[in-house]
A = this chain, B = another copy of it.
Amino acid sequence: MTKCDETRRRILDAAATLFRRKGYGATTLEDIGRLAKLRGPAVYYYFKSKENLLEEVLNIGIERIQGAVLTAVAAQGDDCSHRVRIEAAVRAHLNTLLSHSDYTAANIVNYNLAPKKIKKNHLARREAYNDCWQRLLEQAQLAGEIAGHVDLRLLRLFLLSALFWTHEWYRSDQDSIEEMARKISATLFDGIS
């Protein structure tokens, strides 16, 4: 990794952290520069514009979580139950979002209010991630582990909404991610009755 790449990464990290914490609009390039240990305008050496920087942060945010989820699912092997696979996916999602990187949280916080152009460019990645989950659920339904009458689209939206919004209330000192994943999965499959 050249020094150039390393600086670029430092800027991205700083941006992710600040976009998450204060939001895109309230973060100045000078803020980012400060955290990345250089001056604001230096960002322009590495990125075309602030929007551009946002775009990249958003992309990394999705890539990371998607990578983590896919890896986790694959790691379960082929002979385990779909319930186990889905729980692994939940765990991986939460781990990435809540403890491994600011990029994904920055994505959630900023996607909605991002400039239209950015949203448009980014949409495909979001849908790709949704598709991962959709497939996961479909396979479980095919295998009979999810009842046939369940509306998978709604289930997915509902589940991902819940998973994404954990970052708004999660406190690392109160909740264990492992446990959360287990409980969420249990609630989902068995219900609360």
Interface residues of A (CB under 8 A from B): 22-23, 25-26, 109, 112-113, 145-147, 150-151, 154-155, 157-159, 161-162, 164-166, 168-169, 175, 180, 183-184, 187-193
Contacts and interface: CB of A to CB of B under 8 A. Distances in A.
Given A191-B188, A193-B145, A26 B113 contact: yes
A189 B193 contact: yes
Given A25-B26, A26-B113, A190-B191, A166 B161 contact: yes
A157 to B, nearest CB: 5
A180 B169 CA distance: 24
Contacts of A109: 112-113
A109, A159, A192 interface centre (most CB from chain B within 10 Å): A192
Given A113-B109, A161-B161, A193-B146, A180 B168 contact: no
A86 to B, nearest CB: 10
Contact of A25 (B25, B155, B157, B159): B25
A135 B104 CA distance: 33
Contacts of A26: 25, 113
Given A25-B25, A162-B165, A187-B191, 12 more contacts: A22-B113, A146-B193, A147-B192, A150-B187, A155-B187, A157-B169, A158-B184, A159-B162, A161-B169, A188-B192, A189-B191, A191-B192
A164 B166 CA distance: 12
A167 to B, nearest CB: 10
A25 B23 CA distance: 10
A159 B184 CA distance: 10
